Amino acid sequence: MNNRALTENHVHFVQQGQGAPVILIHGLAASLLDWTELLPTLASNGYAGYALDLLGHGNSYKPPRLEDYHIENVFDHFRAWLEQLQPASPLILVGHSLGGYLAMEYALRYPGRVRALVLGNPFYSLQQLPALLRIHYQKPRINSEMINRAPEWVIRMVVDLTSLSIRNGYVLPEKVRKQTALDYKRAHPGIFNLPTTIRDLLPLAPRIHLPSLVLWGSRDQTLAPASFPKLAASLPNAQTATIKAGHVPHQSHAEEFNRRVLGFLQNLPNSH
């Protein structure tokens, strides 16, 4: 797709099903294809599922300048898209990693528009990252050049080695590893500037009184697993669930992830 032909507010998304609206928000360097397993599960259980590509990702608009890749711009792009949907009822937001950050931000700013949150391995503070990774993200121009110049086979090799690690407790399906590498390459390199532009949401979490499910892989090597129960303890109305998985349980253990999400949704107050 020629990004020059896209308007600045263009959001690529897919929708399945009818019923209460559920918005699926992917993480950094991913795409709406993260939700290939969850979207039809929602649709077949009476929900209207929406999955989008965030700004700079997938087939959505990609600003040309590195300076444009600030979390506020991504949030504004996401917010404007939600307003265009004109949902008939409050939203259920399902966010993974960076998507969890955006879901929490939206709930903080527009609590009346949200019914519930599902936060999968949520990224809410730079302190969740290993020290070396924090340093890595503080060099956005170098990161951008490295990703831009790396051939797809190199990205794929890194993805394969990471996903096949025994310590992760999972092996990603081959089609998922292939898609992960493709998503890295088709995202604008400027997205790697985003982690250092977030604010720490932990002190603000007590303001989110919505029913919430914090669900994570206990062997996450990207974000500290101990950070997830800390967030859940700060949310006034949160449930927790863990899966013996790494950073992407919605892909590595989709059946269990989907079952837990669906169970939470079906037990929400005033659930259909």
CATH number of the structural domain spanning residue 25 = 3.40.50.1820
What's 188's DSSP letter? -
Query: What is d(CA 77, CA 7) in angstroms, rounded to the nearest whole number?
Result: 12
Instruction: Give the tens place of pLDDT for each residue, 229-267.
Output: 999 999 999 999 999 998 999 999 999 999 999 999 999
Residue 181 lies in a domain: no
Q: How many residues does the chain have?
A: 272
Residue 46 lies in a domain: yes
Residue 174 lies in a domain: no
Question: Phi first, then psi: what are they for 48, rounded to 5°?
Answer: -95, 105
Beta-bridge partner residues of 95: 25, 119
Residue 43 lies in a domain: yes
Place of tokens 């490295």: 146
CB 105 within 8 A of CB 70: no
Burial class (CB in 10 A: 0-12, 13-18, 19+), 19: middle
Which residues form the domain of 110? 3-129+197-266
Query: What is d(CA 5, CA 159) in angstroms, rounded to the nearest whole number?
Result: 31
When pLDDT is averaged across residues 81-93 and rounded to a whole number, the result is 95
Residue 249 lies in a domain: yes
Residue 191 lies in a domain: no
Query: Tokens at residue 259, please?
Result: 């079952």
pLDDT at 125 over 90: yes
Instruction: Give the tens place of pLDDT for each residue, 33-84.
Output: 999 999 999 999 999 999 999 999 999 999 998 889 999 999 999 999 999 9
Residue 135 lies in a domain: no
Query: Taking the model in full, what pTM does it have?
Result: 0.88
**Total structural domains within the chain:** 1
Residue 14 lies in a domain: yes
